[in-house]
Structure 1
Amino acid sequence: MKQCRLMNGDPEFIGGLVPGTKIFLANWKTVPIEVIKVGDEVLTSNGGAAKVEAVLRDDHHDLVTIRQNTRHRAHLKDPSVEKPWGIIEITCSKRQKLVLSTKQRIKISKRGRRGFMEVSVSQLADRQTKDGRIIKIIKDKSRRFPLTAERSEIIDYVKPMVLRSEGRCFTWQCEAGDLVEYVNKKRQAGTRMILQPFSIEIPVLGPWLQQCFGRNITAGQLEAMAWLLGFWIGDGCREGAKFALNSEDDDVNTRLEENAKVWGMTLRMWYGEGRKASGFLHTYTGAERLWNVNNPLVKVLEGLRFYENGKRKDRKNVPLFMRTEEIVVREAFLAGLIDSDGYCDIQDGSIRVIIPTAYPPIRDGMRSIGRSLGLNVSTSFRGAHFYERHGQNKSDTWTFYLSGGTNDETLRSILNRCSCERKRNPKIQYCTNTDFEEFDSDYQSEENENDPEDNDDLSGIREGFEDDLEDDPEEQQDGTFNFGKFRFEIIPGRKDAVIGLVLSGTSNRTFVTDDQIVCASAELSTERLESRPYFRRRCLSCRTETTPKWCKVPWLGYVLDRICLACSTRYSRTHMRCSNDLCNWVFRLRVQKGKKPRCKKRQVAKIVTRQCERCGSTPLQEGNP
C-alpha cells in the first residue's frame, strides 16, 4: 500500500498533541513536544523508557480539549468566589488515543412484571464505527434468567467474566472522538483518565547532606530534616531558622525540638500575647549561642534553593526535585507542612487534608509533590479581599484538598509521621461539602445508581456471588503507587497543528505529559486505522445499505456484521437461509396466487425444495419456523 504524505513531506498519522505540551523524558526531565527528536527516550506509564521512532507534524488536525470535570460548585453559587485553580487540561488531536480506566459493572435487575431477571456484566468488546474501523469499547453482556433460577446458575454465568485484578477495572485505550460518539453517557460517567504517580526515587537531599557535612546520614536524620523543611515552608520565617508557633501546641513544639536536636540545634521560644510564640533554632560554638550561623537547616534552605534564589530572606520555594525525591522524604516533608498549616477531617468516610497557602511557588510545589505520590489534589482559589471579621486585607489564597483516592495507604503513612494526634486521628466532619471534590476513588456516578426496577430481594444473590468470586481487592504494594484517576470532559475545538510521537516496541507504547496524564503513541496511517468516509454498512443477506434498524445476525452469534430489519423479520418466520456462506440469502414465505396456505408447515415444505434465488444453492433449515 502506498503511504500518503502530508504537504510537509511527513507520512499521514493518527493522534498527536499540540505544540507546547511538555513531555517527560526517560531521565525525568520535561521538555516541549516540539523539542523531542528521533532517538530520544520518553517515560512510559510503567516507569520504563520508549524510544521515539518518528516525530511527525500536521497543521490541519481536528482538535479536542480534554478537561478535568470537577464538582466545584461554590463559584456557581457565589459570584465572588473565584473559579477553581489547577484544573488538568490537555489539547490533542480528535484521534489521539487516551488511556482510560473503567470499573467493571455487574448488575442484576428484577423485571417482575415480565417474569424474569436480567444479569448484565460489562466487557471490553469490538465495535465497528461508521467509517469502517474496528475499535474496542466497554459494552454490557446480558442474559435473562427466570425468577426461579438457582443462585449457582447465575454465579456460573458471571464468574468467568469477572476481572481478577486492579480493583475489577478495565484499563483500555480509545480515541477521544470515538469515546464521545460510541460510548453512552452512563459509561462515560464511569470512565476515568489515568494519572501516572512517580514511584521512582532520585535522592537529592541525602547525598547533598552527606557531601555538605562530610559524614553518613542516617534514616532518622534524613526524615528529621525533611520534616523541618516542610514545617519551615508552612510556619517558618524568611529570616532563617525562626518559626511562628502556638504556645499551647505541645505536640508540635516537642517534635520541633526533637528533630532540631537530631541535627545539633536547640529550640528557644519567646512568648508573646495570648498563645502566640516564636521559636528559634540555635547552634553553639563552645558556650556561645549562635543563630543562622553554621545552622544545618539554613544551609539546606540556601543550598537546595528552598529560598527562591538561594539567598536568605528571599521568597519561599519548593524545588522541583522534590517530586522525584525518596518517598520517605516526600512523605516527611508533607507531614511537616500539615503539622504547620494543615488540618484534617473525615468526610464521607475518607480522610481529607486541607492546606492553605498564599505563595505561588509553594502552591506549585505542593501540587506536584501530592500528585507524585498518587494523591488526589484539588485546589480552590480566593482572590485578594478585605476580611471584615478581623479588619485585615487578605492576599490571594489557594487552598489545597488532599485525599488518598486509590493510594489511601500513602496518605495514612504521611499522617502517621505528623506530630499532632488530632491530625493522625482526625474527627468526622458531618456536614458534607462537595464543592471541592475533583477526583473519585470509588467510581460513584450516575452509572452505578440503582435501576428503578431493581429489587432489594436480589441483594442476597449479589452478596453471594461477590463472596464466591473471591475478588482480590486493589492493594498498594510497598514502594509503588496505584494509578490516579479523574473525571473528564471532552470539548470539541478547531483545526490546528499537532505533533505526533511514534514510539518503538509493542508492549508499552505510552508516554507521560507534565500533568502526569498517560497518552498512547501516535500511529502511522494504515488501511486498518484510517477513516473511510465512503464506507457504508450493508446487509449480510440482501446487501441493502438503508434500513430503519440494523439487527444482529442470528446464525453467526456475536459478530460485527448486521442484517437489515426486513431480513431479520423474514428469518424469524422461516429460519431458513442459503447454505452458501458467501450468499446468506434469507428465504421468503411465498404463497401461490389465489390459494391461502392452510398451515405454515406445508408452506415451508414447498420452500425446502427450492433453490436460492441469487446463487442457486440449496437452502439451510435452522430450527423450527
Structure 2
Amino acid sequence: MSFNTLIDWNSRIWPDPKLMESLRENAKIWGLYLTVCDDHVPLRAKHVRLHYGDGPDENRKTRNLRKNNPFWKAVTILKFKRDLDGEKQIPEFMYGEHIEVREAFLAGLIDSDGYVVKKGEGPESYKIAIQTVYSSIMDGIVHISRSLGMSATVTTRSAREEIIEGRKVQCQFTYDCNVAGGTTLQNVLSYCRSGHKTREVPPIIKREPVYFSFTDDFQGESTVYGLTIEGHKNFLLGNKIEVKSCRGCCVGEQHKISQKKNLKHCVACPRKGIKYFYKDWSGKNRVCARCYGRYKFSGHHCINCKYVPEAREVKKAKDKGEKLGITPEGLPVKGPECIKCGGILQFDAVRGPHKSCGNNAGARIC
C-alpha cells in the first residue's frame, strides 16, 4: 500500500497537520479525496473518510465510499477485514513481507493509534505503545514487532468508565501493546508522518536477538511426538521464537531453566514466577510486582481472599458503603466490600518497611 498511515475507510485520527497533509498526498495516488469533520470534542480527533473520484458536484447525492473504491477493495481482498464478523485484522501474509513494508505498516499503526515514550537520550530509550480493542490487531502487532527484532509485550485494561475533558466515556476492554527496540524501532519511527512521532533515520540498524526466560512447569503426562532431522538446524516457531534442534547444547543450557523449587506464587493473584516478588502486609508471604504496586498506591487488601484492589475499585466499594463481615479468625469486622469474594477490604495507613501493628489502621473490629 502507498499509505504509511494505516487508516480505516471511516476512521478517527488526531488532528496533526503533517499527518493530514501526508494523508491527502497519498490519497491522490489512489484517486481518493478526503472528507474531514470534527469529533464530538473539537480539536480532539478528526473523522476522516476516503472517497473515490474527483469529489462530488452540487447535483451529486452519493459518494463512492465503497463502490469502485480501490482502497476499500484492498482492505477486503487482502483480508484486512475478517470475513466472518467484519472485524479488523492484520492478515498473516504481512508477517513475512519485505522489511520495509513491515516497518512502514507498523509506523502507520503508530501514527493512527500509538504514541512514543522517551525515557532518556539515545535510540535505546525509545518505546512505543499502541492501544486496540481488537485481539486480531494485537496479535499482528506482536508478530510484526518480533519479526523486526524488537521486544513486544501486551497488557490489558478492563472495560471502565472514565472522565475525559469533562465527559463520561465508556471505555471498552483494551489491549496495550508495548514495543521496545534500539535502532530497529528508531528506523520504524522514521516512516511516521505525525510530527511529534517521527524520528531521524539511524546511520546503522542493528538487529540482534531478544532473549527472554521462562519457567519449566509440570503439566502432567501426555503423548509427545519427536521429529528427527539430518544435521543441526534452527526452527522459527509461529510466535517468532527461534529454537535449536536438541543436541549437546541442551545439556549446557539446562541449568538456565528455573528449578521448580524456586518458583514463587503470588498470594493475591494467580501469577507465579521466580523474580520480582515482594513481602506482603504480613511480612511473611509474597506478592507479585503488580499487586505490590497496587497495594502501595491504594493501601487496601481483602482480609479473606487477599485480593489487592485498584484505587478505582476501592473508590467504588466506598461509594457503596461499608458492610459487616467476619475475619478468618471469626471476629466481626466492618469495612468496604471486596469485589472478588464479597469479603472486607482492610486499609493499612503505613506500608512498607516502616509498618508495625501499632500503625495499622485497618478495618474496624466490632
Distance 1:355 1:285 in 2: 34
> What is the Cα deviation at residue 489 of structure 1?
3.1
Distance 2:68 2:175 in 1: 34
Whether the aligned pair in 2 keeps the contact of 1:357 and 1:398 (CA below 8 Å) is yes
Q: Which amino acid aligns with 1:263?
A: W
Show the counterpart of 1:256. 23
Whether the aligned pair in 2 keeps the contact of 1:318 and 1:362 (CA below 8 Å) is yes
TM-score (normalised: structure 2): 0.57
Q: Which amino acid aligns with 1:269?
A: V
1:310-321 map, 5 Å: 314-321=86-93
Whether the aligned pair in 2 keeps the contact of 1:503 and 1:522 (CA below 8 Å) is no
Whether the aligned pair in 2 keeps the contact of 1:381 and 1:397 (CA below 8 Å) is yes
Distance 2:149 2:142 in 1: 11
Q: Which amino acid aligns with 1:305?
A: K
- Please give the secondary structure, in 2, of the residue aligned with 1:504: coil
Gaps of 5+ in 2: 58-62, 249-366
**Equivalent of 1:332, from 98, 104, 118?**
104
1:29-40 map, 5 Å: none
Show the counterpart of 1:244. 12
Distance 1:282 1:411 in 2: 33
> What is the Cα deviation at residue 283 of structure 1?
2.0
Distance 1:272 1:492 in 2: 52
Show the counterpart of 1:365. 140
1:119-158 map, 5 Å: none
- Please give the secondary structure, in 2, of the residue aligned with 1:497: coil
Q: Which amino acid aligns with 2:117?
A: D
Q: Which amino acid aligns with 1:517?
A: I
Q: Which amino acid aligns with 2:92?
A: L
> What is the Cα deviation at residue 279 of structure 1?
1.9
Distance 1:355 1:489 in 2: 28
The structure with higher relative contact order (CA 8 Å, sep 6+) is 1
Q: Deviations over 1:296-317 (max 9, x none)?
A: 210100101111118xx82111
- Please give the secondary structure, in 2, of the residue aligned with 1:393: strand
Distance 1:336 1:513 in 2: 26
> What is the Cα deviation at residue 492 of structure 1?
4.6
Whether the aligned pair in 2 keeps the contact of 1:323 and 1:372 (CA below 8 Å) is yes
Q: Deviations over 1:353-405 (max 9, x none)?
A: 0111111111111111111111110111112233356433322111011111x
Distance 2:95 2:115 in 1: 22
Show the counterpart of 2:329. none
Q: Deviations over 1:306-343 (max 9, x none)?
A: 11118xx8211111111101212111111111111111
Show the counterpart of 1:491. 217
**Equivalent of 1:375, from 150, 162, 166?**
150
Q: Which amino acid aligns with 1:397?
A: T
**Equivalent of 2:46, from 274, 277, 284?**
277
Distance 1:280 1:373 in 2: 31
Whether the aligned pair in 1 keeps the contact of 2:19 and 2:195 (CA below 8 Å) is no
Is 1:502 matched up with 2:228? yes
Q: Which amino acid aligns with 1:354?
A: A
In structure 2, relative to structure 1, the CA distance for the partners of 1:261 and 1:490 (3 Å cut) is same
Whether the aligned pair in 2 keeps the contact of 1:502 and 1:521 (CA below 8 Å) is no
Distance 2:218 2:87 in 1: 41
- Please give the secondary structure, in 2, of the residue aligned with 1:498: coil
Q: Deviations over 1:133-190 (max 9, x none)?
A: xxxxxxxxxxxxxxxxxxxxxxxxxxxxxxxxxxxxxxxxxxxxxxxxxxxxxxxxxx
> What is the Cα deviation at residue 268 of structure 1?
2.4
1:216-255 map, 5 Å: 222=1, 224-225=2-3, 227-228=4-5, 231-232=6-7, 236=8, 241-247=9-15, 249-255=16-22
Distance 2:173 2:139 in 1: 14
Distance 2:24 2:149 in 1: 31
Distance 2:56 2:174 in 1: 44
Show the counterpart of 1:385. 160
Identity of aligned residues (%): 30
- Please give the secondary structure, in 1, of the residue aligned with 2:82: coil
- Please give the secondary structure, in 1, of the residue aligned with 2:101: helix
Distance 2:227 2:185 in 1: 35
1:164-203 map, 5 Å: none
1:441-452 map, 5 Å: none
Whether the aligned pair in 2 keeps the contact of 1:511 and 1:520 (CA below 8 Å) is yes
**Equivalent of 2:115, from 339, 343, 359?**
343
- Cα RMSD of the aligned pairs, angstroms, is 2.7
In structure 2, relative to structure 1, the CA distance for the partners of 1:286 and 1:488 (3 Å cut) is closer
TM-score (normalised: structure 1): 0.35
Is 1:396 matched up with 2:122? no
Show the counterpart of 1:80. none
- Please give the secondary structure, in 2, of the residue aligned with 1:267: strand
Whether the aligned pair in 2 keeps the contact of 1:501 and 1:522 (CA below 8 Å) is no
Distance 2:20 2:153 in 1: 29
> What is the Cα deviation at residue 257 of structure 1?
0.7
The alignment of Structure 1 onto Structure 2 pairs a total of residues equal to 233
1:426-441 map, 5 Å: none
Distance 2:163 2:71 in 1: 38
- Please give the secondary structure, in 1, of the residue aligned with 2:243: strand
Whether the aligned pair in 2 keeps the contact of 1:409 and 1:476 (CA below 8 Å) is yes
Distance 1:395 1:519 in 2: 37
- Please give the secondary structure, in 1, of the residue aligned with 2:192: coil
Distance 2:221 2:47 in 1: 58
Whether the aligned pair in 2 keeps the contact of 1:370 and 1:377 (CA below 8 Å) is yes
Name the larger-Rg structure: 1
Distance 1:346 1:286 in 2: 41
In structure 2, relative to structure 1, the CA distance for the partners of 1:272 and 1:346 (3 Å cut) is closer
> What is the Cα deviation at residue 250 of structure 1?
0.7
Show the counterpart of 2:311. none
Distance 2:56 2:219 in 1: 70
Distance 2:219 2:87 in 1: 39
- Please give the secondary structure, in 2, of the residue aligned with 1:392: strand
Show the counterpart of 1:550. none
Show the counterpart of 1:265. 32
Distance 1:287 1:421 in 2: 31
Show the counterpart of 2:79. 305
Q: Deviations over 1:480-522 (max 9, x none)?
A: x4322223333355444322222112xx322222222222324
Is 1:417 matched up with 2:185? no
Distance 1:373 1:514 in 2: 14
Whether the aligned pair in 1 keeps the contact of 2:90 and 2:137 (CA below 8 Å) is yes
In structure 2, relative to structure 1, the CA distance for the partners of 1:500 and 1:342 (3 Å cut) is same
Distance 2:10 2:75 in 1: 12
